[in-house]
Amino acid sequence: MLTVASNPASKSGTWSPEDTLLRIMRDPTSIVESVHEECRIDDWNIDVTTQIRFNKAQLPDTEWFYLNVENPDKGDLQAYNILTPEVSPATHEEHIRAAQRCIATRYASLIRSFRFKNGVSVHRKNEILKKLVGIAPQLNEIPKNNPLEAVRTFHKLFDKDRKRLKDLPEEHEAEFSSENAEGLFRFCKLVARKYLSLVRIPSGSRLPNVVEFRSKKTSTS
């Protein structure tokens, strides 16, 4: 799965890495123009060379952006070589911070969408908001915890049937964005088990015509 995020140029504060990553995860083709893969089989190894071309006109005014080249299971990173100059892998800590900031961005958007209904007492409103503030640190742990702990936290916090946090108010208490609620559910489900493998790509006039990387898979059969 290809996803991107951007870092805004100093003159524009409208695009954050988290906003862009979440937007492009919904629709990668809005920025990725084409993807070409070429496979070479040698003994038990399969080398896959991937070439990615971007629609420059659709990129926001940024200095650089992230490309999420793969989503391996946590603890099972696939090795890949970047073949394009000036394109570099993000550090492990940067991967974790990016995932945490995406969660915080989606969570803040969800909270801002709340509209309590008439008749809901101030005490009940404060009770709901206190619970939601209290689970924020637990959400933050999901990307950096091992899969067993992260999945346990995910199931503790989310209702898998309703695809939302368990502590959200009921329909008779408040209205909120179901899209943001489900978006938070899906992103946390992804980073509980998977790892965002990000590379940094220069944008603007420095954007490469093609971004190319090579990965290797070893057959176990």
Please, which pLDDT band fits residue 9 given cuts at 50, 70 and 90? very low
Alpha-carbon 191 to chain mean position: 8
Q: What is the pLDDT of residue 15?
A: 66
- Checking if the pLDDT of 83 tops 90, the result is yes
**For residue 144, what pLDDT is reported?**
93
So what's the pLDDT on residue 12? 44
Neighbouring-strand partners of residue 159: 164
In what helix (H) or strand (E) does residue 53 lie, and over which residues does it extend?
A: strand 45-54
Give the N- to C-terminal CA distance of the chain in Å, as an integer. 25
Q: What is the predicted pLDDT for the residue at 20?
A: 67
Phi, psi of 167, deg, nearest 5: -90, 10
Q: Are 192 and 154 in contact (CB under 8 A)?
A: yes
The Cα 218–Cα 76 span in angstroms is 13
Q: Contacts by 95-98 with C-beta closer than 8 Å and gap 24+?
A: 95/195, 95/196, 95/197, 95/198, 96/143, 96/144, 98/5, 98/17, 98/18, 98/21, 98/66, 98/196, 98/198
For 86, residues 6+ apart whose C-beta sits below 8 A from its C-beta are 201, 202, 206, 208
Q: Is the pLDDT of residue 62 over 80?
A: no
What are the angstrom distances between the C-alpha of 211 and each of 33, 39, 169? 12, 17, 45
**Whole-number pLDDT of residue 139:** 96
pLDDT at res. 43: 72
pLDDT on residue 155: 97
pLDDT bin (cut points 50, 70, 90) of residue 17 is: low
pLDDT computed for residue 3 by the predictor:
55
Mean pLDDT of 208-214: 90
pLDDT at 31: 82
- Longest CA–CA separation in the chain, Å: 70
User: Region 94-105: what's the mean pLDDT?
Assistant: 90
Q: What is the pLDDT of residues 31-52, one digit of tens each?
A: 888 989 888 887 777 888 999 9
Per-residue pLDDT tens digits for 118-169? 999 999 999 999 999 899 999 999 999 999 999 999 999 999 999 999 999 9
- Residue 18 vs residues 22, 97, 153: alpha-carbon distances, Å: 6, 10, 22
The answer to whether residues 194 and 72 touch, using CB atoms and an 8 Å cutoff, is: yes
What does the pLDDT read at residue 217?
65
Report yes or no: 105 and 180 within 8 Å, Cβ to Cβ.
no
CB 30 within 8 A of CB 167: no
- Predicted pLDDT at 75: 74
Amino acid 212: pLDDT: 93
